[in-house]
Each structure stands twice: as C-alpha cells, then as structure tokens.
Chain A
C-alpha cells in the first residue's frame, strides 16, 4: 500500500463520530390567520427558514443568536415537538420529519428536552416523584426495583435528596427545580438532550452547579446536547461546536475555539464583541471595540432579500441584496454564510474600531430600505 497522505483517514471528531441527528433544509413557517369566522392565511412567520445542522454523537452543540431568531423553534423541531413545514429531521439515519404521535412514542425515549423556566415547566400540583416518574409511566417501562426506587436513584444522580420524593416543586429553589427538570429528562436514558436556556433563570453560583452536573452526566452516559442560550460565556464553556442563527437562518457554525477566536460572519463578530467583559480595567477598550448594531431588527414575516443581515451589516454590498450567501467551509469545520467574511485585519483593535464606526453609520431607515441615502 502506498502511504500517500490522501489515503489517510480524516481526523476523528473530538468526541463521538456519527451524526446522531441531522436537520436538512428544515423550515417552520407559522401561518398568520385573519378573519372572524373563516380564518384565512394572510402570511407566515418564517421562524426557521431552511437550515442545515448536524449533531455528532457525544458532542455539545451550542445554539446562539438574537432573541426571536428561531432557536427554540429549531429545538422543538429537533425533538419533533413541532412538525416541519419543509425539509427533513433525521434521527440516526431515519427520517422522522412527519411521524405521527404513536410512531414518535418509542423515539421519544431517545430525545428529551429541558426547558428554560424551572418554575412554569413543573406542574405545581404533582409531587417530585410523580413528575420524574411520569415519562416512565407513559412509556410503560418496568424498572428493576420499582418506579419509586428508580426515581430516587435519579434524584441522587442530579444531586437531590432521595427523601424529597413526596415534596412539591414550590418547596425547592430555582436551581433545585432545574435539577428536577434534568432528572425528568434523564428518566428514559435518552441519547440526545435539547436544553433550551437551561441556566438562564439561575444566578451564577447555582448556574455553575447545573453546568457541572450537565458535564458530569454527559461524560457518564455519553450524552449528546444541543445547548440553546444567549449567555455566550456559558456557551463557550460547555460547547464543542457552536452554531449562530440570525432571523431563521444559520449564519455560521464552527468548533468552539475557532469560532470564538476568529468569527467569520459579521453578525457573529458583532455578537461576540458585545459580550460584557468581567474586568473593570478593560472596559474602556471593550467599549471602543464593540460593534453596536443599529437599525431595526427585520421581521421574520418579511425578511430582507439576499442576506438577511444586510440591513444591519456594515460590510454590505449590492450583491448582498441580490444573492443569498450559502454556507461555505472557510476554516476546517467552520462554515459561514457571507459574501464578505471578516478578515484578520478586521479582527485587530484598529479594525474593530473601524467596524464600530461603520456600523454606527448605518441609517435607521436602513431597516426598510438599506440603500436609501443616510438621514442627515
């Protein structure tokens, strides 16, 4: 055998290998209905508008982006709590896009969701025991030592006292309630957990406990996570790869370190520059180099043509309004959808200040007509 470099196997991904879950061109358009008696469709909210994402077994994929850009909707499509209006959701090679409730039931064991709000996602009238045990009951699962013992094992696993079996959610703090939600998600020994803002409602010290718990569980059970959040420090801590969304599209995906160090999409760049730096000595520098996005956020009902970010992008050219940029791989594993990705010079302090100045120049009316004359 020759030993040419080309025949060497591709470098193995950091953790796991296979794609556990893929979404291909997936869309979710919510109809807007009008009319008193006969509802007719007058438009659609294009919450998720054709995205491709693949989640490898054993990895954590962080999902970030502006409020309303479609992160939760994407999570709900991945768990098939929502049915896509276009494209495919593929779990372990099988197309599950349009499976009905009964066909989905056995697959529910594999994918679980953890929700943001530990207060409203737990039924206040049920005991902790019945909340965590419910998925076992629904799936009719026989456990070795009975359901109670199993629930108590789960409570211990997430760091709660097994004696709390008969308590009600209101007797627990926010962090403890979030642990209850995690125990419930773990009950069926899923492969994939979609965590939608699981620590956003918790304060830093409790947040750290829950993040460590998720880390430990991942290592122990080889879990795969999709972690949705807008705290970019937490996302950086927990993710192997990060996907950035903007107005229903994925604009950049890449390995954590590469994406944070060298963002390629102007939106990713602006987003990362806005993260508050917990260091008073550097705040002036951080503020000078921060790229503030002006202009109104466009609506998902009527998104801009071409690149959706162009109404707020300081690098936009004519082509950005005409041609939608497609995701291209510019760095190993790092793909970006932009006609004019951020360059190395632009990442320097000077470049950042220039970008800030340029972004601030974008007239507010640009949200309706990006190429109008700037308002004097």
Chain B
C-alpha cells in the first residue's frame, strides 16, 4: 500500500520538488482544459504512489478524469490545450517538466499504454507485425529480421494462434479479442516497467476478458511491472488490483487496498457504486440501489464536497458539506477518504446501513 501516509520512523513528508521515493509518484496533478464553456478541471489535485510489481485500479464515474490522468502521466496531452501542473516522478525522473523528446523516449520503452479501442491504437493500413516491429525498433537497434522474430514471439506470448502466419495480417483480419491481444503485444514489446491499461476489456465478452486479465497478470509477474488498470467494472478491479483509487469529479475521494474498498469502504460515493452493482455471486435482489442524480459538470463543480448534491448523508449532524471541501485524510491505516463524516461514524454507518444490503 503506498498512499502518502507516514508511519513511525518514516522520513519527513516529501515537499514539492523533493526526490521521489516510489517508482511512480504522482503529486498534486492538475489537468485543466480551456473550452468555450469555461475551464474543465478534468483532474484537480491527484496524489498517489505505485511500486513495481503492484497493480493500482482506478474506478469512478464516466467523465471523472480517469483517462485524462493516464494520458497526463504518459505525456500525451497537447500542451497548447491542456494546462498541466504538479509532478509525475517515474523511477526518480520528473516528467511534467521534462522535454517532450525525453517523455517520448520513455514512452514505449519504460512506460506504455493499452487503450480501450484497439482500432484507434493500431493503424489499419499496416500489418500487425509491421506495427509491432516498428514499436520495437524505435527503442532497439536491431535488424528487421530480429525485430520480426521478436514480434512473432510477442504474438505467441499473448496467445495469438499461429503467430508466424498471423504476423502478416492486417488489424481488420483479427477478431476483436485478437486485436486487443495484438495491441497488448505491441504495448509490451519493450518490457515496460509501467503499464497503463485504460478499459482494456470493456468491449470484450467475459471469456476473452478473463484471458486478457490473466495475460496482464502473467506479464506483470514476469517483468515486475507497475500496472494501472482503469475501468468502471468493479469486478475487474476486484480481480486484479492490489490498491484501488476511487475518483469523483477529477479528485480522489477514497484510496485503500482492494480488500478495504470492497469490505470496508468509507466514502458515500464508494457505497453508492457498490450498491448499484448487480452481483452474479449473490441472491438476486428485487431492486438495484442506484446513486440518485447525475454526474457533475467539471466546469461548474458543486461547492464544498462535489458529491453533496447526490449524497444521502449531506450535512449530517451539521457537517459543512455544502461549503467546505473535505480533504483526503487517513481514516484507518493506509485508507484515505475525503469526507466530513468522522471515520468511526463512517465505519458504523457502513456496517449498519450499507453492508447488510450489499
């Protein structure tokens, strides 16, 4: 677990600019877009750490800033349209202030991404093999023949049947699941130490999804990579994540181990997510319990706690939800929550009101 929480004997809290301690260290990341309607605060003060060999799941409503965060870490936002501040340290090197060339070099070699839609990441006019070969040769001075061998090896690793033959196919000749695997092969060809997977299985059926998740797990074990997996499928994060970060309106509202998020969640938004979800492993409930209302506008976030218009506990016992923004603070160990309800009371509410109906 790697939130910025200190235990006895830990060194003093880091300050902005101080060298990183974790493999990936994101500090107060803000990514704002200027639009005709106003400034979209897509990510607004996000801090988290991740070590090699660990998997972080990021969950949250559509439009809560999950994809913008991952593109920000990889340096994929156009600097003209996005205003980015904060720090992203990867293996001791700061990326937000680094030159675009430097970030480009790291991308593909040290860090890489699996996108939701393989068609946007693969070029339709080049064969699958050619694209993997190119991705490899950008970072390795090897002959074409060697790169081709590597491409075939990767296709084989991700479970493409007859890779020697399929390497010369075009993306459209692959089924959806095979395309996704080919894209994973391309993302992994340089053994990245940081892999970000943004909804890697959303478009796939569960049998293919299970294969892809297995594959990510195996490859992570082999290369000891740090993995961030972004999804709105709580089942998927429960399967793969060590830690889970819950986002709402561009901010982290809860960050804890996967066990804690599922067994002892403390933020009312996290409660809402869990109650909304039909579960295949339980008796069928008469009705699902959705979160009322709609996601907020990121241009005009509600004052105070941005979840307050939808929160059943708003202003409970006079807490200032509508005026004062709650900060992300440690409740119990390694479990941080941004909510004004005192930790002991939150835990009691979960036990008595929420858990029985899950």
The answer to whether A280 and B238 touch (CB under 8 A), given A236-B278, A274-B206, is yes
Which of these, B238, B259, B280, B285, contacts A232 with CB under 8 Å? B280
Q: A286 vs B236: C-alpha distance in the bound complex, in angstroms?
A: 12
B279, A175: Cβ atoms closer than 8 Å: no
> Contact at A234–B291, with CB atoms within 8 Å?
no
Q: Tell whether B105 is near chain A: CB-to-CB under 8 Å.
A: no
Q: Which residues of A contact B259 (CB under 8 A)?
A: 280-281
Expressed in whole angstroms, the Cα–Cα distance for A278 and B295 within the complex equals 23
Partner of A205 from the list B204, B263, B273 (CB cut-off 8 Å) is: B273
Interface SS of A by simple majority: helix
The interface size of chain B toward A, counting residues with CB under 8 Å, comes to 50
Q: Is the CB of A212 within 8 A of B290?
A: yes
Contacts of B294 in A (CB 8 A): 173, 175-176, 206
- Which residues of chain A have C-beta atoms less than 8 A from B276's C-beta? 204-205, 207-208
CA distance A153 to B188 in the complex (A): 54
Q: Does A169 contact B (CB under 8 A)?
A: no
Interface pick from A24-32, A187-195, A292-300: A292-300
How would residues 350 to 367 of chain A score, 1 for a CB under 8 Å from any chain B CB and 0 otherwise? 000000000000001101
Q: Is A293's CB under 8 angstroms from B61's CB?
A: no
B206 & A230 in contact (Cβ 8 Å cutoff) = yes
CA distance A271 to B207 in the complex (A): 6
Instruction: Give the distance in Å from the alpha carbon of A206 to the alpha carbon of B273 in the complex.
Output: 10
Say whether A275 contacts B206, CB under 8 Å. yes
* Contact in complex: A203, B177 (CB < 8 Å): no
Asked if A306 is at the interface (CB within 8 A of a chain B CB), the reply is no
A234, A274, A278, A281 interface centre (most CB from chain B within 10 Å): A278
User: A274, B209: Cβ atoms under 8 Å?
Assistant: yes
Give A204 to B276 CA distance when docked, in angstroms.
Answer: 6
Chain A interface size, as a band, is 35 or more
Find chain B residues with CB under 8 A from A279 CB: 238, 262, 281
Our pick among B213, B234, B236, B290 for the contact of A208 (Cβ within 8 Å) is B290
Is A276 a contact of B239 with CB atoms below 8 Å? yes
B322 to chain A, nearest CB (A): 21
* Contacting residues, chain A, for B289 (C-beta < 8 A): 208
* Residue ID in chain A nearest B235 by CB atoms: A276
- The one of B62, B207, B232, B279 in contact with A274, judged by C-beta atoms closer than 8 angstroms, is B207
Query: Given the known A-B contacts A203-B61, A283-B238, are A278 and B207 also in contact in the complex, defined by CB atoms under 8 Å?
Result: no
Question: Does any Cβ of B come within 8 Å of A86's Cβ?
Answer: no
Query: Of A233, A236, A296, which is within 8 A of B235 by CB?
Result: A233
A244-288 interface bits toward B, Cβ cutoff 8 Å, 1 = contact, 0 = none:
000000000000110010000000001110111111111100110
Bound Cα distance A14, B291 (Å): 30
Query: Least Cβ distance of A164 to chain B in Å?
Result: 13
Alpha-carbon gap, A364 to B156, bound state (A): 11
Residue A150 is within 8 A (CB to CB) of chain B in the complex: no
The reply to whether the CB of A52 lies closer than 8 angstroms to some CB of chain B is no
Contact B207 A236 (CB under 8 A): no
Which residues of A, 68-101, contact B by the 8 Å Cβ criterion? 68
Contacts of A173 in B (CB 8 A): 294-295
| List of A residues within 8 angstroms of B239 by Cβ | 276-277, 280, 283, 286-287
Closest approach, in angstroms, between the C-beta of A173 and any C-beta of chain B?
A: 5
In the bound complex, CA of A281 to CA of B257 (Å): 11
Chain B's closest residue to A276 (CB) is B235
User: How far is A207 from B275 in the complex, measured between Cα atoms in Å?
Assistant: 12
Say whether A278 contacts B234, CB under 8 Å. Answer: yes
Q: Is A156 an interface residue (CB 8 A)?
A: no
Interface string of A195-239 (1 = CB under 8 A from B): 000000011111111011001000000000000001011101100
| B-side contacts of A274, CB under 8 Å | 206-207, 209-210
Interface string of B235-246 (1 = CB under 8 A from A): 110111100000
CB-defined contacts of A292 to chain B, threshold 8 Å: 207, 210-211, 214
Nearest A residue to B201 via CB reads A276
With contact pairs A204-B232, A215-B287 given, residues A364 and B162 touching in the complex (Cβ less than 8 Å): yes
Cβ B161 vs Cβ A365 within 8 A:
yes
Q: How far is the CB of B351 from chain A (nearest CB, A)?
A: 17
Q: Does B258 belong to the interface (CB within 8 Å)?
A: yes
B8 within 8 A of A: no
Known contacts A275-B206, A276-B206; A203 and B232 CB within 8 A of each other: yes
Interface residues of B (CB under 8 A from A): 61-62, 159, 161-162, 175-177, 204-211, 213-214, 232-236, 238-241, 258-259, 262-263, 272-281, 284-285, 287-291, 294-295
Q: What would be 10 A-B contacts, judged by CB atoms less than 8 Å apart?
A: A66-B205, A66-B207, A176-B294, A205-B276, A208-B275, A237-B285, A237-B288, A274-B209, A274-B210, A282-B281
4 more A-B contacts (CB under 8 A) besides A206-B61, A208-B275? A203-B62, A278-B262, A279-B262, A296-B161
Question: Which residues of A approach B to under 8 Å, CB–CB?
Answer: 65-68, 173-176, 202-209, 211-212, 215, 230, 232-234, 236-237, 256-257, 260, 270-272, 274-283, 286-287, 290, 292-297, 364-365, 367
